Amino acid sequence: MTLSRMRVPNTFIILCSIILLAAVLTWIIPGGHYERETVNGREQVVAESFTYQDNNPQSVGDILIAPIRGIVHASEIIGFVLIVGGIFGILQKSGAVEASLRYTISLHHKSKLIRILLIPIFMTLFSLGGSTFGMSEETIPFVLIFVPLALALGYDSIVGVAIPYIGAGVGFAGAMLNPFTVGIAHGIAGLPMFSGSGYRFIVWSASTVTGILFVMIYAARIKKNPSLSPAFAIDQKKREDLTLDTGEQAAFTVRHKLSLLTFALGMIALVIGVKMWGWYIEEIAALFIAIGLIVAVVSGMGADQSTDAFISGAKDLVATALMIGLARAILIIAQQGNIIDTMLFALSSSIDNFHPIISAQLMFLVQTVINFFVPSGSGQAALTMPIMAPLADLVGVTRQTAVLAYQMGDGFGNLIIPTSGVTMGVLTLAKIPWEKWAKWILPLELIFLVLGFILLIPPILTGWS
């Protein structure tokens, strides 16, 4: 049986299994405790203060209560995720994003320069989407646009998938304002929301340029010799049925432009609010609500239509919200069992003898492995950051660096793992077998691994916080 056909457990099953495992561990692992102190308004673990204590084995009743307690404890983050999802539902319903893409695609018939710049332009746009609002699942329908476009330009289906999916993926990994990864991780780590954006811009730029160059080099090779494509045989049939509709659907109206302008101005306001006025989850959620209301008005949506769009967008993230609650339930079980500090002690002891640079890189590797089992960015943040943030304090790594290690481990890994619903979704839609995609993208994943190691060095040397 090939790996692509293996039945991978649902993420919820994985999280529930980890809850059970955490409960079992409370019967096995000795209890322990670290002293904590408040530094610059943030609680931190005091190094060298660990002492063993009695554990508190968790019962079946504790396990059953843990999920609702996890949801209650994470209610602010869960509410934020649902509101943001609803607002993006309104933006998507406005048709502004799709219309702008179709309009630009139609220009390739008129300009040779557009053909040359098509890959970097669109990958940059998708990367900005991944970096600012966590564009991921939203790339799936764009496969239906970019695969025919890539074939029409003499490329292959892999290029058609790579433009939106790798574009958004590198932005996701190097995110600056992604509320579902950086925002949640910052909230859990006790850091100012979306702080450290200066260096994150460097990370985003390096990741985006790397992805673009890889795809452009490959596209040039396929343009010259299409038979080199892993999808060559598959694409032969697609080319026979090729159609690329850029007629009336390509219309990019004033309403569409106003909707996108509203969103862009909202992102600028977000940066200013966070930097100058210390906005946090409540204020940022309020800003997104304002953006949604304005987009609904300028796009001409009525009250019923915009409400339905909001509900639809929020509904798409209910699973994410529940994952956050279940991930928090794992932490609750471990805390109630008095074993969380013991695990921190064990982890810190295993990497404490390494230089902080190596410790940060090991965090990156750990997050990459965990991502295979928990491919949800927000779920992984909720699961790992309660441990990684205080662990960073113990091994001489800043919490900001720990968040960066998490987001790169999550973002880069998502592009290849078969446990990712988005990965399998875009490949299924493009009719590309996972084995062919994995073989093609593996060199890029190795490049990203090295890039991640390199990008984790400056934060340690500068004390980035």
Higher pLDDT, 88 or 43: 88
Three-state SS string over the chain comes to CCHHHCCCCCHHHHHHHHHHHHHHHHHHCCEEECCEEEECCEEEECCCCCEEECCCCCCHHHHHHHHHHHHHHCHHHHHHHHHHHHHHHHHHHCCHHHHHHHHHHHHHHCCHHHHHHHHHHHHHHHHHHHHHHCCCHHHCCCHHHHHHHHHHCCCCHHHHHHHHHHHHHHHHHCCCCCHHHHHHHHHHHCCCCCCCHHHHHHHHHHHHHHHHHHHHHHHHHHHHCHHHCCCHHHHHHHHHCCCCCCCHHHCCCHHHHHHHHHHHHHHHHHHHHHHHHCCCHHHHHHHHHHHHHHHHHHCCCCHHHHHHHHHHHHHCCHHHHHHHHHHHHHHHHHHHCCCHHHHHHHHHHHHCCCCHHHHHHHHHHHHHHHHHHCCCHHHHHHHHHHHHHHHHHHHCCCHHHHHHHHHHHHHHHHCCCCCCHHHHHHHHHHCCCHHHHHHHHHHHHHHHHHHHHHHCHHHHHHCCC
Does the pTM exceed 0.85? Answer: no
Query: What pLDDT is stored for residue 3 in this prediction?
Result: 42
| Model pLDDT, residue 206 | 96
Counting residues of the chain whose pLDDT is more than 90, the rounded percentage is 27
405 pLDDT exceeds 90?
A: yes
Mean pLDDT confidence for 378-389: 77
**pLDDT (tens digit per residue) in 272-290:** 886 678 777 788 889 989 9
Give residue-wise pLDDT tens across range 122-171. 899 889 888 887 777 667 667 767 887 788 777 888 998 999 899 999 99
pLDDT in tens, 19-41: 898 899 999 999 988 787 776 56
User: Given this model, what pLDDT does residue 246 score?
Assistant: 46
State the pLDDT at residue 11: 63
pLDDT tens-place string over residues 189-233: 888 878 888 899 999 999 999 999 999 999 999 989 988 888 888
Taking residues 235-240, what's their average pLDDT? 73
Percent of the chain scored above 70 by pLDDT?
A: 85
Q: Provide the pLDDT for residue 138.
A: 66
